[in-house]
Amino acid sequence: MNKTLKIETLTPEAFKPFGDLIDKETSEFFMINNGSTRRYHRMADVDVADNGGEPIISIFQATPLQYPLSIKMMERHPLGSQAFVPLLGNPYLILVAPKDDSPDPSAIRAFISNGRQGVNYHKGVWHHPVLALTEEDQFLIVDRSGPGNNCDEVYFSDKVQVELTLNDLVSI
């Protein structure tokens, strides 16, 4: 199978099958701290308690891969959600595929964040490891620590060619 992915703009509706969008610009807020602060409340839930899991906060400093990207694998976290919040305001890419026993290469979807949007992958959603577009980009991560295997990886056979090119990046 040969396929080049179109890169989609990240919206709450488009990302809904895969998780939550952590995005001020598409979220409600209420005022706190005597009117000095907007609280964008509960943008996503941290779903990590299965098998005695606990929520942890980490930082990823990521380096861009080579493009056009030949997508060789996808992974999922069967025991917990995983959130990525960009810290430096740089656009980055998200590759996801629907929950299933194995990722369907023909169902992979590519999104681009405007650098102000984070994502929270729901438990078991297939995704590609973080895809920075800027050298040493940084992300705050909220995911799970605890017993059990929480990372399934599937490598595609050589016959499957799913490519991601940047030349049709939507303007963000």
Ligand X SMILES: NC(=O)N[C@@H](O)C(=O)O
Binding interface with ligand X (CB under 6 A):
75, 82, 127, 129-130, 151
Q: Say how many residues touch Ni ion, by CB under 5 A.
A: 1
Q: Is the Cβ of residue 28 or residue 153 nearer to Ni ion in the bound state? A: 153
Measured CA to CA, the distance from residue 109 to residue 113 in angstroms comes to 13
Binding mask 70-109 for Ni ion (x = CB under 5 A): ------------x---------------------------
The least distance separating ligand X from the CB of residue 44, rounded to whole angstroms, comes to 15
**Nearer to ligand X by C-beta: 29 or 155?**
155
CB of 28 to Ni ion, least distance (A): 28
Position 131, amino acid: L
Are residues 166 and 8 in contact, defined by beta-carbon separation less than 8 angstroms? no
User: How far apart are CB 32 and ligand X at their closest, in Å?
Assistant: 32
State the Cα–Cα distance between residues 68 and 89, nearest whole angstrom: 23
Q: How many CB atoms lie within 10 A of CB 109?
A: 17
Closest residue to ligand X, judged by C-beta, is 129
- Picked from ligand X, Ni ion, none, the partner binding residue 12 (CB below 5 to 8 A depending on kind) is none
